[in-house]
């Protein structure tokens, strides 16, 4: 039988549990083996690059300077007797801690001293695209999986002076006068794609490939951007190894900054779904000491920052510490086939999420703390946090109605790949990056706030003017077919649209065909929904079983992610473990939550490492321990059933709460599901336009 927690008693119990979990995570973090702290790295960095002055000496093979050494030895012998007394008076015996630190440093230095720089005599050239490229470059000295742990560089031809070696390769050096588009060789942003659906592994490139999941090579190189395409391990290897590899690649980029074009300080990660999640983790966890033992294990470059400048995240499946609970609070009302025992489990998770939100401390644009209130109907479906999410839904529909030309052909929109559930059509038009939140760019100013704390700037990003119509929209790729994530067969929402709608009023009437849940004011263009529960029933139904991420049978993709490298799933959600006590699942949960990985790290710390919120919010023990990215762009299809709307919204809020030093461009896209959702325009073009805006171009 499921444990029968209910009402305020459960909220108080879980509030205390979350507080203890946060303290426990902090303790585990400090107990993990740590090398140089981010603060210490910062003191010795070269300005704007994140690489220490001594890093190259520590990580590169040094030339033989025997003549210099002999001369130096003679000089030292000459003055040795004069300095002996002074040295004896000033040099103190090393403490055991200093000796241990010196030993750790020597071990770290040795781990990467054999890692070569990029061989500048081995470039290949694609004349059609005017791109120099190399693949198969190891970014760590002791790779655990050579299929994944190498990388390729794709460089615009205008950045190199090249000499033909006569064997199909070229010897290249940076052209100091090189310019492509709006960038020079030393200012070009570096793009790091993360194409890992369902947290899968990403094979490293082995040859010239015009596509890597987010457009083509020339989409970027013609703009003057450099592509650093790194493979990485995936969920079968276990967290945190995927992000560990990406961090090692970022370090290797900076390790080569003196010989490669591109601004090593201006690295932008980009990903969708599980790739969007890992892009978000990479963006939030820069320089986190929690990763140091894992980076040392593969012989990554040391003394170099692994923080990125910007992070692009489409539908990031993240915040996994409370993802099960958020899912039931948001999508649980759409479930209609639960038994009495299953309903208790769903309700218990929803109540746990309310406890979490009330402890988390997110604030809106007015500085008002966002919380939930208990209600007679539904599970804590009131309060400032509830109102904020309601505003997100309403704004998303308002944007759709504003951007779309009527008559509107829902079937044509659905055939282009839009539609989330029931063939709901996406917005039309073209334009630059749109965004809710602070518009990402070099100024990154704070925005004013509309109802429910929603920021202004809702009509698009820098210089963009959405154009009505649908002709220019590219069909989004299906990102659910190959990710091996478990979804319920036949899951559907109440609303199903087809045919042509002559006006906005006709469209709203169609949304209300099954039951009335949304109204539209033609005078001011505003919409109003009856409740978040009704929105979920109509548009965002649950597509996953109970335990959407930590599945009861440990068969979900995220269970494998927090497994132990054998491809088998393991449980990781302590709240769910509490709720399933006295059931057949109790023993399996209890056993899994006590396990540690090969480096002795408990699963609670591994979950923290893969949770962007851990590094961003004071609620967690990791706040202030990392270097978060300056620029963020987050897009999600509001109808997706893969995660709660809370996931992306909470991430955007946490980033906005960091202050004006972090520019956040957040948008939910009406009618779209789990895809590279865009309100207007095409995904790759919008991403590139955003990077250009961040770089002042």
Helix 7-31 / helix 340-360 crossing angle, nearest 10 deg: 60
Residue 67 burial (C-beta neighbours within 10 Å; 0-12, 13-18, 19+): exposed
Same structural domain for residues 540 and 605?
Answer: yes
Q: What mean pLDDT comes out for the span 374-387? A: 97
Domain that holds residue 561: 7-23+319-670
Same structural domain for residues 298 and 323?
Answer: no
d(Cα 331, Cα 606) in Å, to the nearest integer?
26
Same structural domain for residues 282 and 336?
Answer: no
pLDDT in tens, 184-219: 999 999 999 999 999 999 999 999 976 788 999 999
Which of 33-42, 538-547, 551-560, 583-592 is predicted with the least confidence, judged by mean pLDDT?
33-42
In a domain, 116, yes or no: no
In a domain, 684, yes or no: no
Which strands form 131-138's sheet, in the order they lie side by side? 124-126, 131-138, 150-156, 226-230, 190-194, 267-272, 310-314, 631-637, 663-669
Supply the pLDDT for residue 623.
97
Task: Give the DSSP letter string of 126-190.
Answer: ETTTTEEEEEEEESBSS-S-TTTSEEEEEEEGGGEEEEE-SSS-EEEEE-TT-EETTEETTT--E
pLDDT confidence tier of residue 480, bands split at 50, 70 and 90: low
Closest Cα partner for 532 from 358, 396, 233, 329? 329
Same structural domain for residues 239 and 365?
Answer: no
Which of 630-634, 637-641, 652-656 is predicted with the least confidence, judged by mean pLDDT?
637-641
In a domain, 470, yes or no: yes
**Strand (E) or helix (H) holding 633:** strand 631-637
Domain end position, chosen among 293, 314, 335: 314
pLDDT confidence tier of residue 630, bands split at 50, 70 and 90: very high
Q: Who has greater pLDDT, 255 or 464? A: 255
3-state secondary structure of 79: helix
Supply the pLDDT for residue 184.
98
In a domain, 54, yes or no: no
What value, to the nearest 5°, has the Cα angle with vertex 161 and ends 159 and 162? 120
- Sequence-distant (6+) residues with CB within 8 A of 568 are 554, 560
Same structural domain for residues 469 and 561?
Answer: yes
Supply the pLDDT for residue 83.
42
Task: Give the DSSP letter string of 189-207.
Answer: -EEEEE--GGG--BPPP-S
In a domain, 476, yes or no: yes
* Residue 596: both structure tokens together: 């540690």
Closest Cα partner for 579 from 359, 377, 328, 320? 328
Supply the pLDDT for residue 489.
59
pLDDT at 587 over 60: yes
Closest Cα partner for 495 from 427, 410, 415? 410
Same structural domain for residues 279 and 375?
Answer: no
d(Cα 420, Cα 641) in Å, to the nearest integer?
9
Task: Give the DSSP letter string of 454-495.
Answer: -BS-TT-STT----S-STTPPPPP--STTS-----TT---S-
Domain end position, chosen among 299, 314, 329: 314
Q: Who has greater pLDDT, 22 or 149? A: 149
d(Cα 508, Cα 520) in Å, to the nearest integer?
7
pLDDT-above-90 percentage for the chain: 69
Same structural domain for residues 203 and 333?
Answer: no
Q: Provide φ and ψ at 376, rounded to 5°.
A: -70, -35
CATH number at residue 227: 3.40.50.1820
d(Cα 507, Cα 499) in Å, to the nearest integer?
10
Supply the pLDDT for residue 412.
79
640-655 residues labelled b (16+ CB within 10 A) or e (exposed): bbbbbbbbbbbbbbbb
Q: What mean pLDDT comes out for the span 584-606? A: 98
CA distances from 572 to 589, 593, 619 (A): 8, 6, 19
In a domain, 695, yes or no: no
Supply the pLDDT for residue 582.
95
d(Cα 639, Cα 426) in Å, to the nearest integer?
11
Supply the pLDDT for residue 434.
29
pLDDT in tens, 99-150: 444 444 444 444 445 799 999 999 999 999 999 999 999 999 999 999 999 9
Supply the pLDDT for residue 495.
81
For strands 518-521 and 526-529, give the pairing. Answer: antiparallel
Residue 490 burial (C-beta neighbours within 10 Å; 0-12, 13-18, 19+): exposed
H helices within 32-160, ranges in order? 38-43, 55-59, 66-90, 96-112
Supply the pLDDT for residue 492.
58
State the total domains in the chain: 2
d(Cα 288, Cα 274) in Å, to the nearest integer?
20
Q: What mean pLDDT comes out for the span 170-184? A: 98
Domain end position, chosen among 259, 290, 314: 314
pLDDT in tens, 43-64: 333 333 344 444 444 444 333 4
Supply the pLDDT for residue 490.
54
For strands 500-501 and 408-409, give the pairing. Answer: antiparallel
- Sequence-distant (6+) residues with CB within 8 A of 523 are none
pLDDT at 4 over 70: no
Same structural domain for residues 501 and 531?
Answer: yes
Supply the pLDDT for residue 497.
82
* Residue 593: both structure tokens together: 């939550």
pLDDT at 397 over 90: yes
pLDDT in tens, 494-518: 687 889 999 999 999 999 999 999 9
pLDDT confidence tier of residue 487, bands split at 50, 70 and 90: low
In a domain, 487, yes or no: yes
For strands 131-138 and 124-126, give the pairing. Answer: antiparallel
pLDDT-above-70 percentage for the chain: 72
pLDDT in tens, 411-433: 877 655 443 333 333 322 222 22
pLDDT at 153 over 60: yes
- Sequence-distant (6+) residues with CB within 8 A of 675 are 272, 314, 315, 417, 476, 477, 478, 479, 637, 640
Helix 323-331 / helix 340-360 crossing angle, nearest 10 deg: 110
Q: Other CB atoms closer than 10 Å to residue 44's CB: what's the count?
A: 13
Q: What mean pLDDT comes out for the span 657-676? A: 95
Same structural domain for residues 438 and 300?
Answer: no
Supply the pLDDT for residue 35.
36
Can you tell me which residue has the tokens 């090393």? 94
* Residue 132: both structure tokens together: 């120099």
Helix 323-331 / helix 532-539 crossing angle, nearest 10 deg: 90
Q: Other CB atoms closer than 10 Å to residue 425's CB: what's the count?
A: 27
For strands 131-138 and 160-164, give the pairing. Answer: unpaired
Q: Who has greater pLDDT, 369 or 87? A: 369
Q: What mean pLDDT comes out for the span 379-401? A: 98
d(Cα 667, Cα 396) in Å, to the nearest integer?
8
Same structural domain for residues 265 and 352?
Answer: no
In a domain, 65, yes or no: no
Same structural domain for residues 371 and 419?
Answer: yes
* Residue 377: both structure tokens together: 């109907």
Supply the pLDDT for residue 65.
41
The helix, strand and coil proportions of the chain, stated in percent and rounded to the nearest 5, come to: 35, 15, 50
Q: Look up the pTM and report it.
A: 0.80
Same structural domain for residues 387 and 506?
Answer: yes
Q: Other CB atoms closer than 10 Å to residue 265's CB: what's the count?
A: 21
R_g over Cα of the chain: 27
Supply the pLDDT for residue 411.
83
């Amino acid at each position: 039988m499921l444990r029968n927690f209910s009402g305020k008693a459960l909220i108080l119990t879980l509030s205390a549990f979350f507080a203890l979990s946060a303290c426990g995570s902090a303790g585990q973090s400090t107990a993990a083996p740590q090398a140089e702290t981010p603060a210490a790295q910062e003191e010795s960095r070269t300005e704007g690059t994140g690489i220490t002055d001594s890093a190259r000496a520590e990580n590169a093979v040094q030339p033989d300077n025997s003549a210099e050494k002999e001369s130096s030895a003679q000089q030292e012998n000459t003055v040795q007797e004069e300095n002996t007394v002074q040295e004896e008076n000033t040099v103190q015996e090393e403490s055991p801690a200093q000796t241990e630190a010196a030993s750790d440093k020597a071990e770290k230095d040795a781990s990467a001293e054999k890692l070569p720089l990029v061989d500048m005599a081995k470039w290949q050239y694609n004349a059609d695209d005017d791109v120099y490229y190399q693949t198969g470059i190891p970014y760590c000295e002791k790779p655990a999986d050579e299929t994944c742990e190498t990388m390729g560089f794709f460089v615009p031809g205008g950045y190199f002076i090249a000499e033909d070696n006569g064997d199909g390769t070229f010897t290249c050096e940076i052209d100091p006068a090189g310019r492509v588009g709006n960038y020079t060789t030393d200012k070009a942003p570096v793009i790091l794609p993360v194409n890992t659906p369902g947290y899968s592994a990403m094979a490293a490139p082995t040859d010239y490939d015009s596509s890597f999941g987010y457009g083509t090579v020339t989409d970027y190189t013609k703009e003057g951007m450099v592509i650093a395409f790194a493979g990485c391990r995936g969920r079968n290897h276990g967290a945190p190894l995927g992000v560990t590899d990406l961090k090692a690649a970022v370090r290797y980029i900076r390790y080569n900054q003196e010989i490669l074009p591109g601004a090593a300080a201006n690295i932008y990660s980009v990903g969708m779904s599980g790739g969007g999640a890992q892009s978000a983790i990479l963006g939030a966890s820069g320089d986190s000491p929690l990763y140091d033992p894992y980076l040392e294990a593969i012989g990554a470059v040391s003394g170099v920052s692994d923080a990125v400048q910007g992070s692009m995240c489409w539908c990031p499946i993240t915040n996994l510490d409370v993802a099960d609970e958020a899912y039931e609070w948001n999508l649980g009302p759409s479930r209609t086939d639960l038994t009495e025992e299953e309903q208790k489990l769903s309700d218990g998770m929803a109540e746990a999420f309310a406890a979490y939100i009330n402890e988390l401390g997110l604030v809106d644009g007015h500085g008002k703390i966002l919380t939930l209130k208990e209600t007679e109907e539904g599970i804590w479906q009131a309060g400032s946090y509830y109102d904020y999410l309601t505003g997100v839904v309403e704004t998303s529909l308002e944007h759709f109605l504003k951007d779309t030309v009527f008559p509107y052909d829902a079937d044509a929109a659905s055939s282009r790949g839009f539609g989330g559930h029931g063939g709901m059509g996406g917005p039309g038009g073209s334009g630059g990056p749109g965004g809710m939140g602070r518009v990402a760019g070099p100024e990154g100013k704070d925005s004013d706030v509309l109802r429910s704390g929603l920021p202004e700037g809702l009509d698009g990003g820098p210089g963009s003017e959405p154009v009505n119509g649908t002709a220019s929209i590219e069909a989004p790729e299906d990102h659910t077919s190959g990710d091996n994530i478990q979804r319920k067969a036949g899951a559907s929402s109440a609303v199903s649209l087809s045919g042509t709608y002559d006006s906005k009023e006709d469209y709203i009437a169609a949304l209300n065909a099954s039951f009335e849940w949304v109204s539209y004011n033609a005078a001011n263009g505003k919409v109003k929904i009856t409740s978040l529960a009704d929105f979920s029933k109509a548009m965002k139904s649950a597509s996953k079983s109970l335990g959407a991420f930590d599945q009861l049978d440990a068969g979900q993709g995220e269970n494998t992610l927090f497994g132990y490298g054998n491809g088998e799933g393991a449980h990781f959600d302590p709240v769910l473990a509490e709720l399933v006590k006295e059931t057949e699942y109790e023993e399996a949960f209890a056993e899994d939550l006590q396990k540690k990985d090969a480096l002795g790290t408990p699963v609670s710390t591994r979950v923290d490492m893969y949770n962007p919120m851990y590094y961003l919010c004071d609620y967690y023990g990791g706040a202030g321990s990392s270097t978060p990215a300056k620029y963020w762009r987050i897009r999600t299809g509001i109808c997706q059933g893969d995660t709660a709307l809370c996931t992306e919204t909470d991430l955007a809020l946490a980033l906005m709460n960091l202050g004006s030093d972090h520019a956040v461009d957040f948008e939910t896209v009406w009618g779209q599901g789990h895809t590279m959702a865009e309100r207007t325009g095409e995904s790759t073009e919008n991403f590139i336009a955003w990077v250009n805006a961040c770089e002042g171009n």
